[in-house]
Amino acid sequence: MSIVITDLCKSFGSTPVLQRFTWTVERPMVLMGRSGCGKTTLLRILLGLESADSGTVTGVETPAAVFQEDRLCPQLTAAANLTLTGHGLTPQDAERELRTLGFTDAELALPAARLSGGQKRRAALLRALLCRDAKTLLLDEPFTGMDAELVEDAVAATKRLAGERPTILVTHDRTAVDLLGWPVREV
């Protein structure tokens, strides 16, 4: 199964953002491009959150996403956020994965509302990656707010858990791109 994007066009008012954008994503890939070139807009169209003006998209079945915003349930712990969407994921497994991305006992006990920006981002990334039922992954700037060491751990978790699923990962982080080793598409 692949994500197949054909001749996608999107304008906001008179400003074209995507112009006949065509891309087939058969496995994990990185999407890069200057700020404002339409990367988030593309992912939002793939998720059905925005409509395209023309063109077609197929193959985005049961996606899991890291949105531009973290979208965690603020009153739940990070692990509870993960088990909410990860079918069959035990709280113990969720906590073990969070620990691999640096979560301490104290942080595991906090509601998401009280986590730092980088901690929320790590939880949002693991939530998407641990949706085993998801057939495709759409990850918008998943490493935001992480220092170099954490990016290394987050990249390792991303490679391990994404597997061979068709994945679009948007990032500006060249170090992360080098560590991922995934093919890069420039918009």
Ligand X SMILES: Nc1ncnc2c1ncn2[C@@H]1O[C@H](COP(=O)(O)OP(=O)(O)OP(=O)(O)O)[C@@H](O)[C@H]1O
Please, what is the minimum distance in Å from the beta carbon of residue 32 to ligand X? Answer: 9
Q: Taking CB under 6 A as the rule, does residue 81 contact ligand X?
A: no
Number of residues that bind ligand X (CB under 6 A): 10
Q: Taking CB under 6 A as the rule, does residue 142 contact ligand X?
A: no
Determine contact, residues 2/50, Cβ cutoff 8 Å.
no
7: which residues sit within 8 A by CB, 6+ positions away?
A: 20, 21, 22, 54, 55, 56
Q: The tokens 């390792």 sit on which residue?
A: 156
Q: Which is nearer to ligand X, 38 or 63 (CB)?
A: 38
Please, what is the minimum distance in Å from the beta carbon of residue 67 to ligand X? Answer: 12
DSSP SS3 for 83: helix
Q: Taking CB under 6 A as the rule, does residue 127 contact ligand X?
A: no
Please, what is the minimum distance in Å from the beta carbon of residue 49 to ligand X? Answer: 10
DSSP-H helix ranges across the chain? 39-46, 78-85, 91-100, 105-108, 117-129, 148-162, 174-180
Range in contact with ligand X (rule: CB under 6 A) among 33-41, 54-62, 128-136, 142-150: 33-41
107: which residues sit within 8 A by CB, 6+ positions away?
A: 78, 98, 115, 119
Q: Taking CB under 6 A as the rule, does residue 37 contact ligand X?
A: yes
Q: Taking CB under 6 A as the rule, does residue 39 contact ligand X?
A: yes
Chain positions contacting ligand X, by CB under 6 A: 12, 17, 33, 35-41
